[in-house]
Structure 1
Amino acid sequence: MLNRRNLLQSMAAGAGAAFGGPLISQRMMASTVSNTTPKRIVFFMQNQGFDPKTCIPAGMKNGGSLAKVKLPEPISPLEPYKERMHIINGLHGVHTSPSHSAFFGALGGYRGSDGVPPSGPTIDYELSNVLPQTLLPHLCIGMDSIENMKTKPTIATLSASGAGQPIFMYSNPNHLYQMLYGGISTGDIRRQHEARSSLLSQIETLAAAKGQSLPSADQQRYGQYVQGFQETNALRDRLSSVADHLRQFAPVVDERYTQPEFETDWHDVLLDLGISALTSGITNTLTIGSGRGEIFGAWKGLGVEQQGHNLGHMDQPDNPIWIKIRQYNSRMLVKIMQALESVPEGSGTMMDHTLIVYTSNNADKQHTSGNNWPVMLLGNFDGTFKTGCFTQLDGTRPINALYTTLLRAAGQNCDRFNMDEKIAKQFDSGSGPVKELLV
């Protein structure tokens, strides 16, 4: 069993050494030397919409306790955990134009669409900055058809660090494993990691030199590419500095990585890698894109032959296909919770200080106006959120208000997230957090 205080202190010391100074070490150790406990958050974004009838128990209309009701079949794997759930209905996102997908707007709370760059930071990135710092503040993984994951192993559609600054998600588990654990591996994985590291270091050096000769108008954009290489190389060095610690958490590489029969094999091992990043303390913020924020996606490993856009044209309630997909999602949520419950932290476990946010990147259905944006919360974030209940809101508060609530719970004093007063007058009936969600 692991002691989280010693774990984070040792990781912080390694990170400080990697950066050649105490700054990062002090930031990472802030939560371990004070009376606060490290917190973390997981966003699970399912494409094609989240119909409220697939999560609200039969007969519940005005909210109440979940104790004496049965969860709907699509989320039945969560039945043993319903005392840790909070089902929310009645938020909206009409201002995000979410038909087919709001893309960056789903986590940003602003207008989004296919090919439209982010107009501001997304909530997952903002929280990764507010929560206690880690070696990799924010990890994004994306699940899709095996063809899409192979041909586009990285893609940016959901998360962003600012206007015009998308954050890429990993879809090829072999690449992600190399990044996280290549430095402690052996055989082919180690050789590939070393070759890739050498290449990236050379590219960084060459790119920095060549960029100086570009016209001034292009230097800023080119600088962003150089910064990307610098951050990747720096992360590799930081992870190498805590290699002994990481060995305890690295998943076993099996044929699902190299010879996946179905795309769900890669979905499963991507989830394993995301969980390992949380339990090892590498990251405090994990974003999972099931469908990668687009209108595609496939689940042939579940016996679902239909894929992509066609799935969104099917009604979700009582649909055996969507029951399989939603139950698969629910089992993933259970796996995350069980893994976090297995690691002691403070007077409880990691799950006691974690919040999982499950929703869709396009509200309640594929072709949607965004009038209703259902959300499920799992966990209470160190006792901050109410659990074991269903809350029905009146439809006048936007998803931005939920994100404001998350920031408040993480210790950030804000009244609105990505919504100025002019937009708020049109789309938000209040300000500050959604009080019905908080203890």
Structure 2
Amino acid sequence: MIITKKALPRRTVLRGMGAAVALPLLDAMVPALTAMTRTPAHPARRLAFIYIPNGAYHAAWTPKGTGRDFEWSPSLQPLAPFREQVVVVTDLAHRQLESLGDGGGDHSRASAGWLSGVHAKRTEGADVEVGTTADQIAAREIGTATPLASLELALDAADIVGHCDAGYSCAYMNTISWRTPTTPNPMERNPRAVFERLFGDGDSTADRLREMEMDRSLLDSVTQEIGRLHTDLGAQDKRRVDEYLEAIRETERRIRKTEQYNRTTEFPVPDRPIGVPEDFETHAGLMIDLQVLAYQADLTRVTTFAFGREASYRTFPAIGINDPHHALSHHQNDEGKLARLGKVNAHHVATFASYLEKLQATPDGDGTLLDHTLLLYGSGMSDGNLHNHSPLPIVLAGGAAGRFKGGRHLRAKPETPMTNLLLSMLDMAGVRPERLGDSTGRLTGL
């Protein structure tokens, strides 16, 4: 690739009234006659942490065989198209999430300590304390290069305060991200608020309703600048810009459609949040799209995404599951409940697979976003019926800009701390802390 014009800055944005739209990586951002690997076009390393609550049904989760010759389990079957980008890791333990004399509260400790390996302080008050999480350790370094150091998203409401779980503050279940040991990061569940944080102003409900009623895309305010930019781009860059902006428009249209539905449809619960879809599938799809857009525009390189709060009572009517998830996790070895729990696990994995599919379909430099991202998917709870924390259900996916090789089922040595895996992930992102929580080293074989 040879480019003779002056390069566009990597942080090029299109600005209009109330909008600032960052651009994806373009050929025109690579300085003339300079190798891509020595410019800002060198692939960014990204980390994503996706949490599932209530553990898993391991008989339907754990693959048969190890190494490259493993067979997909029923719950993990949706990941089959991404075999070469996936490593299933089994037998990891989070022993610091156990009771250690504090009694119940395993749900709180599971989510609070998943990314730190630190035992959460048992308190119902504001004096919460656990550990700085791996996402925030990464954000302190690779997050300095982007407008947002990190992005924290969730699907379940986190507006519960006070006591939630056996003497533990609700703060422990409301987030999986901790900026410091005593500072939890709030997780945003409203797609509209996330969209406007990424691309424009207007954070209040009144502002969002006014914008919806105007029925005008924020991109309309930067139309003239888009036209001027097109004259300086090659054919491939023009296509990338058009595809990227159309993805923004489509996401915005879907958010507005959801808002309109929520505005005009009566619900039994008063004061329903504007812009939050009723069903898991639509909500998760929107939040995934927003994360892909944020990565594509290099607005952030670190995300956390919780499919649900621990002890979530969500049902999944789209797949015929009307039992609350938490109730199913307390299956007491009932075959019918186990089958339905396995179906919920597979549905979550299929949603994760859709995330991988969208990353794989999005160009990024000389590869795709999936090539340049490392994603962790799993839970701090092992078996919701036993409230234990070993073995954990864990999947890694992506490419980590060439540092991660998939296509394997890796069975760790018994009692290997989950934090060893987190350290290895941070290494692949170019962040190298000496230790994390109860780590004993890096994960062997990864």
Q: Does 1:137 align with 2:149?
A: yes
* Equivalent AA in structure 2 for residue 10 of structure 1: T
Residue 60 of structure 2: aligned partner = 54
Residue 343 of structure 2: aligned partner = 324
Shift of 1:378: 0.8
Q: Does 1:122 align with 2:140?
A: no
Q: Deviations over 1:365-396 (max 9, x none)?
A: 35333232231111131222231011111223
* Equivalent AA in structure 2 for residue 54 of structure 1: A
CA distance in 1, matches of 2:394, 2:335: 16
Q: 1:408 to 1:317 in 2, by over 3 A?
A: farther
* Equivalent AA in structure 1 for residue 111 of structure 2: F
Name the Cα RMSD after superposition. 3.8
Shift of 1:248: 4.9
Q: Does 1:296 align with 2:307?
A: no
SS of the equivalent of 2:185 reads strand
Q: Does 1:38 align with 2:44?
A: yes
Q: 1:401 to 1:80 in 2, by over 3 A?
A: same
Of the three residues 234, 255, 258, the one matched with 2:257 is: 255
Residue 24 of structure 2: aligned partner = none
* Equivalent AA in structure 1 for residue 116 of structure 2: G
Residue 93 of structure 2: aligned partner = 92
Q: Deviations over 1:31-66 (max 9, x none)?
A: 9836842011111110000344333223x2xx2114
Q: 1:190 to 1:122 in 2, by over 3 A?
A: same
Shift of 1:311: 2.3
Shift of 1:114: 8.0
Residue 207 of structure 1: aligned partner = none
SS of the equivalent of 1:334 reads helix
* Equivalent AA in structure 2 for residue 417 of structure 1: L
Question: Is the CA contact (8 Å cut-off) linking 1:156 and 1:167 kept in structure 2?
Answer: no
Q: 1:150 to 1:110 in 2, by over 3 A?
A: closer
Residue 218 of structure 1: aligned partner = none
Residue 292 of structure 2: aligned partner = 275
Runs of 4+ in 1 over 6 A off after TM superposition: 149-152, 243-246
SS of the equivalent of 1:108 reads coil
Structure in which a larger fraction of residues adopt helix: 1
Q: Does 1:106 align with 2:114?
A: yes
* Equivalent AA in structure 1 for residue 444 of structure 2: K
Q: Does 1:168 align with 2:191?
A: no
Shift of 1:417: 0.9
Question: Is the CA contact (8 Å cut-off) linking 1:279 and 1:340 kept in structure 2?
Answer: no
Residue 341 of structure 1: aligned partner = 360
Residue 26 of structure 2: aligned partner = none
CA distance in 1, matches of 2:159, 2:285: 15
CA distance in 1, matches of 2:196, 2:362: 24
Shift of 1:255: 3.1
SS of the equivalent of 1:127 reads helix
Question: Is the CA contact (8 Å cut-off) linking 1:136 and 1:282 kept in structure 2?
Answer: yes
Q: 1:34 to 1:141 in 2, by over 3 A?
A: closer
CA distance in 1, matches of 2:195, 2:305: 16
Q: Deviations over 1:135-165 (max 9, x none)?
A: 1221111123xxx47989x983211100211
What does residue range 404-419 of structure 1 map to in structure 2 within 5 Å? 404-419=423-438
Shift of 1:189: 6.1
Question: Is the CA contact (8 Å cut-off) linking 1:125 and 1:138 kept in structure 2?
Answer: yes
* Equivalent AA in structure 2 for residue 64 of structure 1: G
Shift of 1:13: 12
Q: 1:51 to 1:163 in 2, by over 3 A?
A: same
Q: Does 1:353 align with 2:354?
A: no
Q: Deviations over 1:188-243 (max 9, x none)?
A: 8666579xxxxxxxxxxxxxxxxxxxxxxxxxxxxxxxxxxxxxxxxxxxxx9xx9
Of the three residues 62, 67, 87, the one matched with 1:64 is: 67
Task: Name which of structure 1's ranges 158-167 and 401-410 shifts more when overlaid on structure 2.
Answer: 401-410
* Equivalent AA in structure 1 for residue 85 of structure 2: R
Count of residues in correspondence between the two structures: 354
Unaligned stretches of 5+ in structure 2? Answer: 21-30, 32-36, 99-104, 162-170, 213-221, 227-240, 262-276
Q: Deviations over 1:387-429 (max 9, x none)?
A: 101111122321111111112112223331134xxxxxxxx6x
Q: Deviations over 1:67-110 (max 9, x none)?
A: xx541122211111112110111111011227234222111211
CA distance in 2, matches of 1:312, 1:9: 46
* Equivalent AA in structure 2 for residue 81 of structure 1: F
Unaligned stretches of 5+ in structure 1? Answer: 19-28, 195-239, 420-427
Q: 1:121 to 1:329 in 2, by over 3 A?
A: same
CA distance in 1, matches of 2:107, 2:396: 23
Shift of 1:327: 2.6
CA distance in 2, matches of 1:91, 1:6: 45
CA distance in 1, matches of 2:364, 2:408: 25
Q: 1:298 to 1:107 in 2, by over 3 A?
A: farther
Q: 1:106 to 1:150 in 2, by over 3 A?
A: closer
Q: Does 1:82 align with 2:83?
A: yes
Q: Does 1:383 align with 2:402?
A: yes
Question: Is the CA contact (8 Å cut-off) linking 1:50 and 1:359 kept in structure 2?
Answer: no
CA distance in 2, matches of 1:345, 1:336: 16
SS of the equivalent of 1:65 reads coil
What does residue range 184-333 of structure 1 map to in structure 2 within 5 Å? 192=210, 247-250=245-248, 251=251, 252-253=253-254, 254-259=256-261, 260-314=277-331, 319-333=338-352
Shift of 1:271: 2.6
Shift of 1:247: 4.5
